[in-house]
Structures are given as structure tokens and as C-alpha cells.
Amino acid sequence: MLKQALAQNGLIAILRGLRPQEAAAIGEVLYAAGFRVIEVPLNSPEPYDSIRILRSTLPADCLIGAGTVLTPEQVEQVKAAGGQVIVMPHSDAKVLRAAKAAGLYLSPGVATPTEAFAALAEGADVLKMFPAEQMGPAVVKAWLAVLPAGTILAPVGGITPDNMQVFIDAGVKGFGLGSGLFKPGMTPEDVAVNAKAYVAAWNALR
């Protein structure tokens, strides 16, 4: 279902710093704009509460996940909160295996082809290329030439509506969007404006 969601809209909302009391309103504006994958990093305030609220608020075709997942224990806590996607900044095999054993979708962070192949061997669904600013579209193109056909690379870090084109031209089929979409203190109206700009750019480029 993760790949289907990204085929519909390849933009992943990363809501670092989201608070539970604003989760429902921000989730609703993101869904209305077209987002179908929303991630709450675990270094946010009370992240499991936000995950629980987003899952109970939004329709079933919107996947809710956790980011900055670092341990197998956190995988279990995400699942208990209703989370469906595990996003990691790294590729720790223990965490990958825990996520697959729990039946969750998995997007580990990779920064080299070696890490990418190892993550795919552990069952990764989507590879998070992080940090995208450091790697760039030339790296995307080189990786996709050797990775298995159909591999989804999602650059994360510094992605704006204006710089998506070069990555899409290189073969990217998804992006993780952080502070350009949401920062702590933004109102739902602020997030709606940013979300619409990203979705408009994505639709125009795709």
C-alpha cells in the first residue's frame, strides 16, 4: 500500500515538532491537499499521541508513520499507536527486521549504494536518500542505474517546489518534505498554503 500511496502522490509529510493538540487539524489540511503519507518523527513532543490522533482522524487511504525510529522497542510502540510506516535516518538491521516482523512498511535512510542494497535485502519498501542536499540528482541517477528495477528513492532534506524537477528528471518517484512544509508554530492555514504549493509542483512535473 505504501508504493500505491506514493504512486498517487509521491510527497511524504514530515511533521517534526508536531504537538498532539494540533495533529488533527494539520493532518486534515495535508489530506485535503493530496498527501497520503504522513510521518511524525519520534523526537517530537508526545509523538505516539500524535500518531494515534492522526490515525483515528484521517481516512484509511492515508498512511501514518513515525520517523527517527532508532530501536526495535520504538517499532513496537509505533505499531501500538496505530502507525503503519517506520522511517529511519539510518539502516540498522535490527530495526529493519523488527519493522518487517511487525508487518509495517519500511523506509530506512541510506547514503551509499552498499547501504541501499543491504536495506533492500532486509525488505525495505522505499529508500530514504538522506541528506538530499549533499547527494543531489547525479547520485540518484547513478544509483538507479544499478539498483533493482522499480526501486523507489525518496530524497529528504532541502526539497522545495522549485528544485524537485532535477530530481524527478533523474528518476525520483517521491520526496520527504520537512521544514519547507511544516515547522513548529505554523498554523494549519500556513501548512495548507505550503502543502498546496508542493502538490501543485508535483502534479505539474509528473
Give catalytic residue positions.
39, 128
Cis preceding linkage at 188, omega within 30: no
Q: Are 85 and 107 in contact (CB under 8 A)?
A: yes
Diameter of the chain measured on Cα atoms? 45
| 110 in Cβ contact with 129 (< 8 Å) | yes
CA–CA separation, 186 vs 66, rounded Å? 20
196 Cβ contact partners less than 8 Å away, ≥ 6 residues apart: 33
Positive or negative: CA dihedral 88, 89, 95, 100: positive
Q: Quote the cell numbers at residue 171.
A: 528518476
Closest CA to 174 of 12, 2, 4: 12
What backbone phi and psi angles, to 5 degrees, belong to 87?
A: -115, 135
